[in-house]
Amino acid sequence: MSVPVVVTGIGVCASNGVGVPTFWDALREGRSGIAPIASFDASALRSRIAGEVRGLDMEQRLGAKVARRTARFSQLALVAAEEALEHAGLARGPAREEAAVVLGTGIGGFDMLEREHQAFLANGTSRFTPLTLPMIIPNMAAAAVARECGCRGPNLCVSTACATGAHSIGTAFDLLRSGRAHVAVAGSTESTISPFAIDGYCQLRALSTRNDAPAQASRPFSVDRDGFVIAEGAGVLVLETLAHAQARGAQPLAVLTGYGASSDGHHLTAPEPEARAAVRAMRMALADAGIGPTGIDVVNAHGTSTPLNDVIETRALHKVFGEHARRLLVHATKSMTGHALGGAGAIEAVASVLTLVHQIVHPTVNLCCADPACDLDFVPLTARAARVGAVMSNSFGFGGHNGVLVFSHPSTLPT
């Protein structure tokens, strides 16, 4: 018999909002967090815009010692995890002791590695931060959350590029269903806004160069999209078995009902043109959730604003949903947050839960003229009230990694 798994807490750090209330207000109102890069001089780069998380004093939020000993990707994860745990009502101490942590990142502390390597080249040996190596490795966000939040259950780091968030949440889902844990802190984080990283994506011709209009640069499914906008951020969910949540009187925000994963096995960066593996991941998630295509009301699309992804994702949705595809509301959170790479899937999972909580579908901004090949209802420009029983969240990553989650309204739980 399947073990029901519920979401009882959420936390987020995104370019358009730190903290769930601010983030949701920005999504609902269509406010972008994309602006000219402020963290370094980007004047020599072709793409000079990003979705940076602004206004966070990490020493104030985390304490001076923790802030000094964690790279930014771990700091963002800690802020989001603490919010999610507080939202779930899991106080420090015994309530968190056996909690699992599954918190991934696509790259890790790339920005810190670049900065400290420059110090090494300029100043010689033993002249850069001594803790650089342990601070930058990808598992350190999960380790920091376990250490600082008091979680002593299984501790895992998933790294599957832009599918990391979905795979981390899906892995935690499986831990709970297998009985290896009863509560889990799950999500992902990323911070790679640095000259080397951005220039690398520029060389791949992956980034938007709409530098004079940053808030309008990320335009998923638009006929004139010219690439994604790099961003940073973190999203975290507290997942519990229904029995565990009920035993402590926690109120579910949503039910995690389905998870699907697959691999394109096709190309280093490009999605497989026929989207066969993406289709398979979506169908797996539906089957896992025990619902048919008509059971989904909203799709939170991967929606990167790149020429290839948006057309191929639209094609995949037609294949999975058939005639029902025309009745779906499909929206792209990245139109406002930018693309937080490994952090994106978890940020979008938070958005999916909020869609169910508020029964409002946030808009895809900057979509004034859709690509004819992207012919679904992408909720352009303005949020829409709707009756939402289930949301599918898609995440597809470099290397052909595909992760799909299905969240359902708590009213679907057995009484």
Nearest CA to 329 out of 354, 360, 306 is that of 360
Token digits of residue 168:
């981390």
The whole-angstrom separation of Cα 255 and Cα 247 is: 16
358 catalytic, yes or no? no
Query: Around Cβ 382, how many Cβ atoms within 10 Å?
Result: 13
The whole-angstrom separation of Cα 289 and Cα 173 is: 12
The whole-angstrom separation of Cα 377 and Cα 327 is: 8
Residue in 87, 167, 182, 302 annotated catalytic: 302
302 catalytic, yes or no? yes
- For residues 357-379, b (16+ Cβ closer than 10 Å) or e, as one string? beebbbbbbbbeebbeebebbbb
- Quickly tell me which residue has 């999975």 as its tokens: 320
Residue in 339, 362, 401, 409 annotated catalytic: 339
Nearest CA to 351 out of 14, 2, 1, 122 is that of 14
Instruction: Write the CA distances from 332 to 274, 306, 363, 410, integer angstroms.
Output: 21, 12, 7, 23
The whole-angstrom separation of Cα 210 and Cα 45 is: 12
The whole-angstrom separation of Cα 33 and Cα 340 is: 12
Residue in 149, 157, 162, 374 annotated catalytic: 162
The whole-angstrom separation of Cα 75 and Cα 408 is: 30
368 catalytic, yes or no? no
Q: Residue 222 in contact with residue 307, Cβ under 8 Å?
A: no
Question: Which of the residues are catalytic?
Answer: 162, 302, 339
